[in-house]
């Protein structure tokens, strides 16, 4: 009986090892990844780092004093882990200020007020404000139909909502963001005097969400967002008859300011010239603590250094943590980083960005240059089962991140860390994006997931060598 049982046990192991292709490296890697998660969940530093970044340097919009403070704080945080190198990469960034006026009310009924937030980069209104009739549109496409005759002298109100049926909320966001970014520029071509944009969120609440807007044309008109509840209210008022709004804002652009990307590096012992980048962006909007966007991505990137240090892990390749400045309104930090990498002929193997909030990890998306993204996807497919115990299962082609995507063309596989997206746009660019709305455990799981993938790239590069290491007969 006993022998029979032993035999069955032995045959089962044989089956697992030889039939399913599990290998020595699978066991080694699964143990290492388990250790990474264990340390992240029991001795993690990222939540405390996020607290410091949010409370000591909230509202760290590029060019602001708090953005400079964020540079100094994160430089110190990284230095504490004694990486091989920590440095600041200088870069000139835009300096836009919101001012202290954001007034919006119905001229015929001054008690009917709208909670307004200027879009980043917007010009102010003329002193004393604007009084103009509002015209609602469902997106940029409607402008041409209406033409100058209907739009001249008006405030154009973009009210296309995010599509609730789309499960990945980033796709839903992508379907509406053009209203915010190009709405004013497009409307100005038809003689409009200002634009209001429905906030880009699925939540029905009173918080207006800011975000960048851009001008191409010479005729710059102001742009602002109102909350989804206010947008619904304004739309209802317009159905009853004409609405004339008073709009007043004193935001403005100041001359560019010197700022920095913050960078730290663990030097590789075998392939020091092969760089594995992990990063997020240090700047945030000025109306919140920038906790999910992108304090979370910064502290998770710092945590990769921290975890490897705590585990006494000596990387084979160079692991570089990059905290980019100015993602929100210019991407000057990412451009400077990519330009310098090109000048120095640096060899980035992969670049992973975390900029989708500090929520429960789901996986990674991959893009990049031909050959690289496919090789990366092959490796991910091979490693996928290592992430299954942590409920991380998305490994697919898709956008990476605004910052790392500037490395396109340099032969790099670009990855985006994908946390669950359902709640991100509740907070994105709103005054509610604060430390208290980040869950400690979810943030830590994200750090561990990113560090685990960096570990695998460090061990194998883009060559998933498991098959070569199969157990002998």
The least distance separating Zn ion from the CB of residue 297, rounded to whole angstroms, comes to 7
- How many alpha carbons fall within 13 Å on the CB side of residue 220? 15
Tokens matching residue 331? 């991407």
- Which residue has tokens 């780092």? 49
Shorter beta-carbon distance to Zn ion: residue 159 or 259:
259
Q: Which residue in the list 274, 327, 336, 346 is annotated as catalytic?
A: 327
Q: How far is CA 338 from the centre of its chain?
A: 18
b (16+ CB within 10 A) / e for 179-195: bbbbbbbbbbebbbbbb
What is the spatial distance between Cα 100 and Cα 324, in angstroms, rounded to a whole number? 28
The least distance separating Zn ion from the CB of residue 243, rounded to whole angstroms, comes to 34
Long-range contacts of 76-80 (CB under 8 A, 24+ apart): 77/49, 77/52, 77/302, 78/262, 78/264, 78/302, 78/305, 78/321, 79/264
Shorter beta-carbon distance to Zn ion: residue 172 or 459:
172
Q: Which residues, 35 to 64, sit near Zn ion by CB under 5 A?
A: none
Shorter beta-carbon distance to Zn ion: residue 186 or 294:
294
The least distance separating Zn ion from the CB of residue 330, rounded to whole angstroms, comes to 13
Going 33 to 38 to 43 to 49, the CA torsion angle's sign is positive
Q: Judged by CB under 5 A, how many residues of this single chain contact Zn ion? A: 3
The least distance separating Zn ion from the CB of residue 217, rounded to whole angstroms, comes to 27
The least distance separating Zn ion from the CB of residue 200, rounded to whole angstroms, comes to 13
Q: How far is CA 424 from the centre of its chain?
A: 10
Shorter beta-carbon distance to Zn ion: residue 262 or 386:
262
In whole angstroms, how large is the CA radius of gyration of the chain?
25
Shorter beta-carbon distance to Zn ion: residue 294 or 458:
294
Going 107 to 108 to 111 to 113, the CA torsion angle's sign is negative
Is position 403 an interface residue for Zn ion (rule: CB under 5 A)? no
> In 195-343, which residue ranges form alpha helices assigned H by DSSP?
228-240, 296-310, 332-343
Shorter beta-carbon distance to Zn ion: residue 185 or 293:
293
The least distance separating Zn ion from the CB of residue 294, rounded to whole angstroms, comes to 4
Asked if 327 is an active-site residue, the reply is yes
Q: Which residues, 278 to 307, sit near Zn ion by CB under 5 A?
A: 293-294
Q: Which range, of 35-43, 88-96, 182-190, 352-360, touches Zn ion by CB under 5 A?
A: 352-360
Residue from the set 355, 382, 426, 458 that interacts with Zn ion by CB under 5 A: 355
What is the spatial distance between Cα 58 and Cα 67, in angstroms, rounded to a whole number? 8
Task: Give the binding site for Zn ion (CB under 5 A).
Answer: 293-294, 355
Q: Which residues are catalytic?
A: 327
């Amino acid at each position: 009986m006993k022998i029979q049982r032993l035999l069955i046990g032995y045959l089962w192991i044989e089956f697992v090892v030889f039939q399913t292709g599990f290998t020595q490296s699978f066991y080694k890697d699964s143990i290492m990844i388990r250790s990474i998660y264990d340390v992240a969940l029991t001795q993690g530093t990222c939540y405390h780092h996020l607290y410091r970044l949010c409370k000591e340097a909230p509202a760290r919009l590029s060019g602001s004093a708090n953005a400079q403070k964020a540079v100094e704080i994160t430089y110190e945080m990284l230095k504490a882990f004694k990486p091989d190198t920590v440095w600041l990469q200088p870069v000139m960034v835009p300096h836009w200020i919101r001012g202290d006026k954001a007034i919006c009310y119905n001229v015929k009924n001054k008690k009917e007020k709208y909670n307004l937030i200027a879009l980043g980069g917007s010009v102010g209104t003329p002193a004393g404000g604007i009084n103009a009739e509002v015209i609602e549109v469902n997106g940029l496409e409607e402008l041409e139909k209406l033409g100058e005759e209907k739009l001249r002298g008006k405030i154009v109100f973009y009210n296309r909502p995010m599509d609730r049926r789309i499960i990945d909320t980033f796709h839903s966001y992508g379907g509406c963001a053009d209203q915010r970014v190009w709405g004013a520029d497009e409307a100005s071509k038809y003689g409009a005097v200002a634009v209001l944009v429905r906030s880009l969120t699925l939540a029905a609440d009173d918080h207006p969400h800011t975000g960048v807007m851009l001008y191409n044309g010479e005729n710059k008109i102001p742009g602002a967002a109102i909350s989804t509840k206010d947008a619904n209210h304004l739309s209802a008022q317009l159905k009853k008859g004409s609405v004339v709004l008073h709009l007043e804002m004193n935001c403005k652009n100041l001359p560019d300011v010197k700022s920095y990307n913050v960078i730290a590096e663990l030097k590789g012992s075998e392939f020091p010239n092969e760089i594995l980048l992990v990063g997020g962006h240090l700047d945030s909007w000025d109306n919140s603590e920038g906790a999910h966007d992108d304090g979370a991505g910064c502290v998770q990137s710092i945590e990769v250094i921290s975890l490897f240090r705590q585990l006494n892990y000596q990387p084979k390749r160079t692991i570089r943590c990059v905290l980019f400045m100015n993602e929100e309104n210019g991407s000057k930090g990412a451009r400077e980083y990519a330009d310098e990498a090109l000048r120095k002929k640096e060899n980035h193997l992969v670049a992973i960005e975390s900029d989708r909030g500090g929520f429960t990890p789901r996986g990674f998306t991959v893009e990049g240059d031909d050959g690289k993204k496919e090789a990366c996807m092959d490796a991910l497919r091979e490693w996928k089962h290592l992430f299954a115990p942590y409920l991380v299962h998305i490994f697919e082609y898709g956008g990476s991140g605004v910052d790392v995507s500037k490395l396109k063309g340099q032969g790099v596989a670009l990855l985006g860390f994908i946390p669950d997206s359902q709640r991100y746009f509740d907070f994105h660019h709103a005054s509610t994006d604060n430390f208290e709305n980040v869950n400690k455990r979810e943030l830590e799981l994200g750090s561990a997931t990113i560090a685990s993938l960096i570990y695998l790239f460090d061990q194998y590069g883009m060559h998933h060598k498991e098959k070569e290491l199969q157990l002998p007969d």
